[in-house]
Amino acid sequence: MTKLIEFTKMHGAGNDYIYVNTSLYPLEHPEDLAIKWSAPHIGIGADGLVLIDRSDIADFSMRIFNTDGSEAMMCGNASRCIGKYVYEYGLTNEKNITLETLSGVKELELNVEGNKVSDVTVDMGSPVIEKENLTLSINNKEYSGTVISMGNPHFVIFVDDVDKVDLKTIGSLLEKHPAFPDRTNVEFVQVHSPNEVKMRVWERGSGITLACGTGACAAAVASIIKQKTTNKLKVLMDGGALTIQWNRLLANKVYMTGEAVTVFEGSIEV
């Protein structure tokens, strides 16, 4: 017997997901639905599926499933979209909310204009710099980068021109390199100025995406520790820009600010 599930498609900097309020529409086997619904042409089309629910330890909870069905620990862009979702759908009237994720509870600050959320700042927590310099060999070429955890793993590589990187080939191989037994997200970063970098990303479990919030944070942290930028910078991605600030000497927190956009609403049978 089929049932109708209402969903909202949203994006942050082009990183698009299908959002379902599972307190209203419980889903069985969301990993399978993520694969099916995320498919372009034959599905809704997205970078994955996000489940929104209540939480015992925060205001709301978030679960994220990638296009390959694997569950992600954290997504900064999805976090901002959830802030917009819960406020504009009337699930809360608070402008400061907490969100339970697999990488801990995150704090969201909503910027509201005319009852609409224009942008959201997320306290992404403290970065963990696992290896400042790691060199790996792929196809007889060496790639040197920084290994950083933002609640999920990242390998940040600085290049002269991100547009010349064979992201599909190199990103896929680095994601599954033996150095990363749990796989990793891969970011290629080009420094424009002390206040701006450009980044392209290969996401673990999803492949090439237009943006990655935790990846932008990792790119900013790597840029700062290598003294390539100031501690507040704009990260440009194919889908848009995010502002990242790392208060390294104070609370050691990374703050990410960016837009959240509703694309469309719909319903689908399961």
What digits encode the pLDDT tens for the residues 26-80?
999 999 999 999 999 999 999 999 999 999 999 999 999 999 999 999 999 999 9
pLDDT above 80: residue 1: no
pLDDT above 90: residue 248: no
Task: Clarify whether residues 193 and 114 are in a common domain.
Answer: no
Residue identified by tokens 């694309």 is 263
Residues 6+ apart with CB under 8 A from 48: 17, 18, 34, 38, 64, 65, 66, 67, 72, 205, 206
Task: Clarify whether residues 190 and 115 are in a common domain.
Answer: no
Range of the domain at 135: 128-251
Task: Clarify whether residues 241 and 154 are in a common domain.
Answer: yes
What pLDDT, in 10s, does the model give residues 209-223? 999 999 999 999 999
Contact between 174 and 94 under an 8 Å Cβ cutoff? The reply is no
Task: Clarify whether residues 163 and 110 are in a common domain.
Answer: no
Task: Clarify whether residues 135 and 230 are in a common domain.
Answer: yes
Task: Clarify whether residues 82 and 67 are in a common domain.
Answer: yes
Both tokens of 24, joined, read 């209203």
CA distance 74 to 212: 10
Task: Clarify whether residues 77 and 166 are in a common domain.
Answer: no
CA distance 76 to 124: 7
What pLDDT, in 10s, does the model give residues 144-192? 999 999 999 999 999 999 999 999 999 999 999 999 999 999 999 999 9
CA distance 153 to 183: 8
Contact between 238 and 200 under an 8 Å Cβ cutoff? The reply is yes
Residues 6+ apart with CB under 8 A from 16: 9, 10, 45, 46, 47, 210, 263
What is the residue type of 237?
Answer: M
Task: Clarify whether residues 94 and 196 are in a common domain.
Answer: no
Number of domains in the chain: 2
What pLDDT shows up at residue 146?
98
- The CATH number of residue 65's host domain is 3.10.310.10
Task: Clarify whether residues 235 and 140 are in a common domain.
Answer: yes
Task: Clarify whether residues 33 and 114 are in a common domain.
Answer: yes
Task: Clarify whether residues 111 and 158 are in a common domain.
Answer: no
What is the value of pTM for the model shown? 0.93
Query: What residues are annotated to the active site?
Result: 75, 212
Q: What is the 3-state secondary structure (H, E, C) of 160-204?
A: CCHHHCCHHHHHHHHHCCCCCCCCCEEEEEEEEECCEEEEEEEEC
Both tokens of 75, joined, read 């997504």
Task: Clarify whether residues 136 and 242 are in a common domain.
Answer: yes
Phi, psi values for residue 161, rounded to 5°: -150, 105
What pLDDT shows up at residue 191?
98
Residue identified by tokens 């639905």 is 33
What pLDDT, in 10s, does the model give residues 152-161? 999 999 999 9
